[in-house]
């Protein structure tokens, strides 16, 4: 456990290593942008369409595995004077060559509001990809976040992408990405045109995505089997939206039962409920005409991963160029031709949208606008209905059993269509048309004996401002409504519930403090506080007159849990272990709790393996032995390597991890405690025993 926590601390102190990695973490859909438009060989921290957002450290619940950008040209002469009838600048998809020698010209993140400060027991929370140092505040920003990146390519086409994300809960499940391609002749981003006055013809811009719905959750439970369907919506008569690819979980062949949605084998939670998608909002007609060409994308196609072409595989340029320029208009793998998603002809589908052909004279520009989006049932529903399905009691919309499960999960596609409609509305009406909620306040959390105190504020701590300092961001009219406090137990990844509300129509006067007394000693609690408006300034037809909240992700604690405690004892005669005996238990909430996949990031161990030494003095050394007298582990109280260890409390958690990083087995164990008071006066020693049953 200590090794994991040390690695975590090193990462937090080395955030400069991730300076070029920019991530949206404001709404429910999180995504990361990299230089050259692809996932590099080594990127330990990234959000690849993470949903629902919230995991600031391990960034789990990803839905996208790969992203790439190809630029194909015809009749082109390279810098060595070699004429090429076809050439594809392969932007890293299955080939990292672009990332090997090119540096981004620009990599910046802009935010409308500074990331709020969060303090837990006077320890300040830190983030790696999303922090004050990695972003620039721009109060006039039309969206809540904007990421800007720019890089050169080896054909002399400069790529600039600007992505936009929102905290508004009606608009926080999509991200809009504007791509601008300019023929600068500059191949290294240094400002000098290695190809001066070049004119490019037959140019195609190909965008790749490889989706795995809930890829590191349900997909892992299935042993990594790829059993996903893909579909393209938008190129057939009657389609109401511009065009987008999406992928969803199918029924694999590694289970004897219907595993659509990947029900958890532990508690039934539906683990793969998402419909990740990417689509088109705009494509220039040509370099001299910026009107939207509705006939684009020219090519819509997919391949199983094993058959995707690339430079790395040695495929000829003409083959890669033909992939971009075939003008195929595929509808995907689920159109009836195939019966199983794990068929080798369609397994692990990689999705392509290609735009062209364009002529691109020197200095000319083409703009293409895409979006990424996620549709899904809410996780609380996945847990609730998953338990019913697990217990064979599921009924939904007149259906039962697997039919009910599959129909319920399929409503995620309905939500995806709504989300895509909102993305198209935003593009048509402008980013500023999306109504803005209030700013999220800073938050201080103090855990004490039998309670957790919360205080939220704007500006510097101590000003105690109970309301936001200004009016609506769009109209400047004061429309503040009040505050809401949300809480989760045991993990910040578990579902949150509304705990307290003030202002608005609640009858509770607006305040900026709240004491949570409905707590248990030693339990870990996680909170966030949102401000909400009264809805009077929200004139968008999608949320007309509806109250809006600030971001649910801006001020939640995650690095440090709030743990109510009993104050440290001044003697050693009350020390004991709970629970004793210990029986291995599963968690209350969902997840794939396999032995190798249930590590909580803030503790580096399994929550369900927790035992607690209680009745401790302010400082103690606890040694744990087997019945044969072998030393298993040595614990310090408080433990500087455990963010859940509370100084001057009477409790110390242990997650049954030995000093050799092994989970202990069933048996009788003995402990020896040396204790000191808070002034370092030695209090003596004591011993005891506990039993573990697995």
Q: What mean pLDDT do residues 594-611 have?
A: 61
Q: How far apart are CA 40 and CA 58, in angstroms?
A: 17
Q: Where in the chain is the domain with CATH 2.60.40.4070?
A: 576-693
Is 591's pLDDT higher than 80? no
**Ranges for all domains in the chain classified under CATH 2.60.40.10:** 442-533
Q: What pLDDT score does 609 carry?
A: 85
Share of the chain above pLDDT 90, in %: 64
Q: Find the helix or strand (DSSP H, E) in which 79 lies.
A: none
pLDDT at residue 249 tops 70: yes
Picking from 237-246, 286-295, 605-614, which range would have the lowest pLDDT averaged per residue? 605-614
631-637 and 244-249: which strand pairing?
A: unpaired
pLDDT in tens, 617-628: 999 999 999 999
Q: Per DSSP, what are the bridge partners of residue 280?
A: 370
Radius of gyration over alpha carbons of the chain, in Å?
27
The whole-number pLDDT of residue 4 equals 37
Answer for the pair 443, 550: CB distance below 8 angstroms, yes or no.
no
- Percent of the chain with pLDDT strictly greater than 70: 91
Q: What are φ and ψ of residue 576, in 5° steps?
A: -155, 175
Sheet containing 582-583: give its strands across: 582-583, 682-693, 667-676, 619-626, 631-637
Cα of 249 vs its chain's centroid, Å:
19
- The candidate with the shortest Cα–Cα distance to 273, out of 343, 327, 325, 219, is 219
d(Cα 472, Cα 451) in Å, to the nearest integer? 35
Segment 647-670, tens digit of pLDDT: 888 999 999 999 988 889 999 999
Hey, what CATH class is 576-693 in?
A: mainly beta
Q: Which helix (H) or strand (E) holds 100?
A: helix 97-101
Instruction: Name which of 556, 643, 564, 650 is nearest 604 in CA terms.
Output: 643
Integer Cα distance of 627 and 625 in angstroms: 7
Name the E strands within 101-172.
106-111, 118-120, 123-124, 136-137, 145-151, 157-165
> How many Cβ atoms from other residues are within 10 Å of residue 509's Cβ?
9
Q: How far apart are CA 362 and CA 358, in angstroms?
A: 13
Q: What is the CATH number of domain 442-533?
A: 2.60.40.10
In a 13 Å sphere around the CA of 422, the CA atoms on its Cβ side amount to 26
How many of the other CB atoms lie within 10 Å of CB of 661?
A: 12
């Amino acid at each position: 456990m200590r090794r994991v926590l040390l690695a975590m601390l090193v990462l937090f102190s080395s955030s400069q290593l991730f300076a070029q990695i920019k991530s949206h973490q404001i709404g429910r859909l999180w995504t990361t942008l990299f230089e050259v438009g692809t996932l590099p060989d080594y990127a330990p921290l990234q959000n690849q369409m993470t949903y629902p957002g919230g995991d600031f450290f391990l960034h789990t619940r990803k839905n996208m595995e790969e992203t790439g950008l190809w630029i194909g040209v015809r009749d082109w002469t390279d810098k060595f004077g070699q004429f090429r009838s076809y050439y594809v600048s392969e932007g890293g998809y299955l080939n990292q060559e672009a990332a090997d020698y090119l540096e981004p010209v620009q990599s910046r993140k802009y935010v409308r509001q500074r990331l709020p400060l969060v303090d837990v027991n006077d320890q300040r929370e830190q983030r790696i990809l999303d922090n004050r140092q990695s972003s620039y505040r721009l109060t006039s920003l039309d969206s809540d976040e904007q990421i800007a990146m720019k890089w050169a390519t080896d054909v002399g086409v400069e790529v600039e992408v600007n992505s936009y994300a929102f905290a508004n809960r009606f608009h926080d499940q999509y991200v809009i990405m504007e791509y601008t391609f300019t023929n600068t002749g500059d191949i290294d981003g240094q400002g000098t045109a290695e190809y001066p006055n070049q004119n490019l013809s037959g140019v195609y811009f190909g965008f790749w995505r490889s989706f795995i719905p809930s890829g590191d959750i349900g997909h892992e439970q299935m042993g990594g089997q790829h059993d996903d369907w893909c579909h393209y919506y938008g190129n057939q008569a009657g389609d109401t939206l511009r065009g987008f690819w999406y992928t969803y979980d199918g029924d694999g062949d590694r289970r004897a039962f219907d595993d659509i949605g990947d029900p958890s084998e532990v508690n039934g939670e539906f683990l793969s409920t998402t419909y990740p998608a990417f689509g088109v909002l705009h494509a220039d007609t040509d370099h001299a005409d910026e009107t939207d060409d509705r006939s684009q994308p020219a090519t819509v196609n997919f391949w199983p991963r094993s058959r995707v072409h690339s430079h790395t595989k040695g495929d000829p340029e003409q083959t890669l160029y033909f992939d971009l320029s075939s003008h195929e208009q595929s509808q995907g793998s689920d159109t009836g031709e195939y019966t199983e998603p794990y068929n080798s002809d369609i397994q692990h589908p990689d999705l392509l949208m290609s735009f062209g052909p364009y002529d691109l004279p020197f200095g000319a520009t083409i703009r293409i606008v895409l979006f990424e989006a996620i549709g899904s049932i809410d996780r609380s529903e996945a847990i609730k209905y998953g338990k019913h399905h697990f217990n064979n009691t599921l009924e939904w919309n007149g259906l039962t059993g697997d039919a009910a499960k599959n129909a319920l999960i399929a409503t995620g596609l309905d939500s995806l269509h709504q989300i895509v409609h909102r993305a198209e509305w935003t593009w048509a009406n402008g980013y500023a048309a999306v109504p803005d909620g209030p700013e999220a306040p800073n938050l201080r959390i103090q855990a004490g004996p039998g309670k957790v105190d919360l205080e939220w504020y704007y500006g510097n701590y101590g000003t105690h401002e109970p309301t936001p300092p200004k009016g609506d961001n769009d109209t400047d009219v004061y429309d503040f409504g009040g505050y809401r406090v949300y809480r989760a137990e045991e993990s910040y990844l578990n579902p949150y519930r509304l705990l307290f509300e003030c202002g608005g129509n609640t009858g509770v006067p607006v305040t900026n403090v709240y004491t949570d007394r409905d707590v248990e000693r030693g339990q870990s609690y996680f909170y966030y506080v949102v401000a909400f408006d009264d809805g009077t300034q929200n004139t968008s037809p999608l949320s007309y007159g509806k109250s809006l909240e600030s971001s649910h992700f801006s001020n939640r604690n995650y690095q440090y849990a709030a743990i109510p405690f009993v104050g440290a004892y001044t003697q050693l005669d009350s020390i004991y272990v709970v629970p004793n005996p210990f029986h291995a238990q599963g968690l209350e909430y969902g997840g794939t709790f396999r032995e190798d996949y249930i590590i909580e990031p803030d503790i580096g161990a399994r929550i369900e393996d927790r035992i607690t030494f209680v009745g401790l003095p302010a400082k103690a050394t606890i040694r744990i032995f087997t019945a044969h007298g072998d030393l298993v582990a040595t614990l310090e109280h408080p433990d500087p390597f455990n963010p859940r260890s509370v100084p001057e409390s009477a409790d110390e958690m242990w997650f049954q991890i030995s000093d050799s990083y092994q989970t202990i087995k069933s048996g009788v164990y003995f402990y020896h405690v040396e204790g000191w008071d808070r002034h370092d006066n030695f209090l003596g020693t004591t011993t005891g025993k506990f039993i573990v049953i697995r």
